[in-house]
A and B are shown apart, each in its own frame.
Chain A
Amino acid sequence: MSNNMRKNIIFFIPTFSFVALFVIYPIVYTFILSFESENAYTLNNYFKVLSESNPLYMLIVKNIALSPPWGALLHNIVWVLIHAPVTIILSLVISYMIKYYYIKGSSLIKALLFLGMVIPPVIGGLIIRFMFDENIGIIPKIMRLLSLDVILRIPELSKTWMNYPSLALFSLILGSIWLWLGFCITIISAGIETIPQSHIEVAKVFGASSFKILFKVIVPELKTVILTVFVLTILWDLKLFDIVYASTGGGPGGSSTVLALIMYQYFIYASRYGGYGRSAAVAVILTIITLIPASIYIYRSLKRS
């Protein structure tokens, strides 16, 4: 054994031991636990969580309608489909404007946008609840002011969104955009700083509009950064728990449940009556879904390095 190898082993073993103990062991144990049901190892837990009919535990509803509830699994997917692209596009536009246009108080805007990131998610959930409240919330007031509730023929828009199954999930998604936007702007702004000024100047000389500069120069140059932010956003969306727990608790009628909340509810149930298998099964399902974007990210990172 070479000297280098020995050194590597010495440094590797303590780190690996802790990773093994606190990361690998819980993952493996959760995976095993997800199959444990009535002292046997079967797929029972998976069948039960996937076929559960209690709206507050449902992963997929049997008859999917036009508006929620659709089940936690689909709610998470809808969350990703709306939240990830909207947040990325908004942060790109805002970062670009802050960098290339003189906006009075741009530092303050940046600080306000970053506020969502530093607020604890539970508090964030409560703030979202207030934002969409008929009596004290800004969003229903804007809807009323612009008569959007009348124009769009959705009277609930000027009421408390979280009281209505058709709007509760979307109010949370919109609120989460504000919470996560600060992080995305910070990363994308840092990325924009690395683009040579000459590239932008050349585009301007050739008469490119701001729109073209953003999407033909900046976006291609920020491809790696955008991909990183995109994957991190999806991972954040899939792990969401606190803001739902603090604002709607998954209701009304199970219209805003998410996988992490259901996993938690099974866990609480098990802590009273035993049987952590179902909670573990939801955790495994959530992990598998999370692994898809995570593996893309890891693959890209490895390829880059």
Chain B
Amino acid sequence: MNIRAISKITIGIIIVVIIIIAAITALLIPPSPPTTTTTPTQTTTTTTPAVKVKLTVIGPWAGDEEKYFRQVINEYMKLRPDVEITYVIQRAEDIASTLPAYLKAGKTPADVIFSAWGWFIVDMAKSGYLVDLTPYINQTDYVNGIFNPVKYDNKIWGAPFTMWLKPGFWYRKSFFQKYNLTEPKTWDDFLNLLNKIKGIPGIKKPIVTGDSVGWPIGDIVEHFLITFGGPDLQYKLISGSVKFNDTIVKSIFENRLIPLLKNGDFSEPIEWTTAKDLWWNNEYALYFMGTWITGMVNDPNDLSFFTLPGDKGVVGGTDYIFVPKYSENVNEAIKFVQFLATKGQVIHASTPAGKIPTWTKASADAIWSPMKTVYNKIVGAGMAILPDLDDSIGGDWQKLSWDQFKLLWVNPDKLNDVLNILTAQHPAIKGA
């Protein structure tokens, strides 16, 4: 055999083997985390850098909500002309699906990320992917209990942003005036109201049901459970000390919610922004939604709400801000988080975003006036502000509960199955 030919083959084989070894090594060796430290003693640079610091922020707001959040970003960029911020829209459910893989690979798609799901932030913190924000946020300056969902190992891993509430059934004042309708004071009043609404020409159903991946239906269910089971029931359901198929829970469904579903008082699930338009156009009279709806209607002054009679608590929560430790600008990201959690909240609450500050040093005067009315109505009624049920339990149960409640809406006879499934799959019972 020609020696030249043999050596060519040998060289070829060696090159290929090297490529294979290199590729396998790259696949098998986990990337080492960056060596950035985030201790409170870090020094702050005082010189203006020649090149702008670029930060990417992921948040859930789109459309008008995005417009209001961008006002906060713009304000920060005015304060810090050396910082350039790019905003990317991603829902909490998408972040929960994609972010763990990024972080596992030692990468992050953004420097600052928003998520309403405290359980997810804690999961990421447990895996060691997040920056500990304890030294940068003064916990005493915030509303009580707001840090509970993002606490782990006595540290806080997420900073609170502005707060939303899910206070009850929204209606148009003009519609109620036109048809001489009043807010119900008792359960019977509520049933009478629904019957009256049914008789109004052009009305499809008294209550429109919002839908997306399922959370709006979950919110309605929670409101019924809190009203008829008391605020404590919410905590007990979260911890698993009361089960979904326990008599107290089952009776609320059987005696209050299911009759309404069977009676056709609720519409079938409709995509929640479409549902908002239909309701605003008076095709439906009532809509259960969070306070962000105030910023989504043409005339917020025509808007009012009522809770179910006898209700003593409303669900409230915030979008938590966290910083992945793989950010290339951890220091700048933390500074931006500090701004968002304080002055940023004041700016956001002053827009029609339908939010109130969780930072107690924020002046109430700055709150957007329709939201101030909503807030006063809730506080005036002495309502307890409670954590969201599915956001608190989290994990796979959250998605399952949305799916099961959606099923219940179109098939109320499945109640027993739904409650048994929710009980069996609850992390406290399943042990997941």
Contacts and interface: CB of A to CB of B under 8 A. Distances in A.
B23 A6 contact: no
Given A9-B9, A10-B9, A54-B425, A252 B100 contact: no
A250 B404 CA distance: 11
A163 interface: yes
Contacts of B97: 268
A268 B16 contact: no
Nearest to B432: A273
Contact of A160 (B1, B96, B127, B268): B268
Contact of A6 (B9, B211, B214): B9
Interface residues of A, number: 37
Nearest to B274: A135
B403 A249 contact: yes
Interface stretch (B82-90, B374-382, B405-413): B405-413
A164 interface: yes
Contacts of A295: none
Contacts of A234: none
Contacts of A296: none
Contacts, number: 93
A13 B12 contact: yes
Contacts of A133: 271
B269 A163 contact: yes
A21 B100 contact: no
Contacts of B278: 135
A272 B123 contact: yes
A163 B268 CA distance: 8
A21 B403 contact: no
Contacts of B399: 56, 249
Interface string B253-271: 0000000000000001111
B75 interface: no
A124 interface: no
Given A135-B270, A268-B97, A272-B123, A252 B13 contact: no
A147 interface: no
A272 B123 CA distance: 7
B16 A14 contact: yes
Interface string A101-141: 00000000000000000000000000000000111100000
B410 A164 contact: yes
B406 A163 contact: yes
B104 A253 contact: no
Interface of A: 1, 6, 9-10, 13-14, 17, 20-21, 25, 53-57, 133-136, 156, 159-160, 163-165, 249-254, 265, 268-269, 271-273
Q: Ordered nearest first, which 5 A-B pairs have the shortest CB separation?
A: A253-B407, A271-B100, A251-B403, A252-B407, A252-B406
27 contacts: A6-B9, A10-B8, A13-B13, A17-B19, A20-B20, A54-B400, A55-B400, A55-B403, A56-B396, A56-B399, A57-B396, A134-B268, A135-B270, A163-B406, A164-B410, A249-B399, A252-B406, A252-B410, A253-B403, A253-B404, A253-B411, A265-B396, A268-B96, A268-B100, A271-B100, A272-B96, A272-B100
Given A6-B9, A163-B268, 7 more contacts: A14-B16, A53-B421, A56-B403, A133-B271, A249-B403, A252-B410, A272-B120
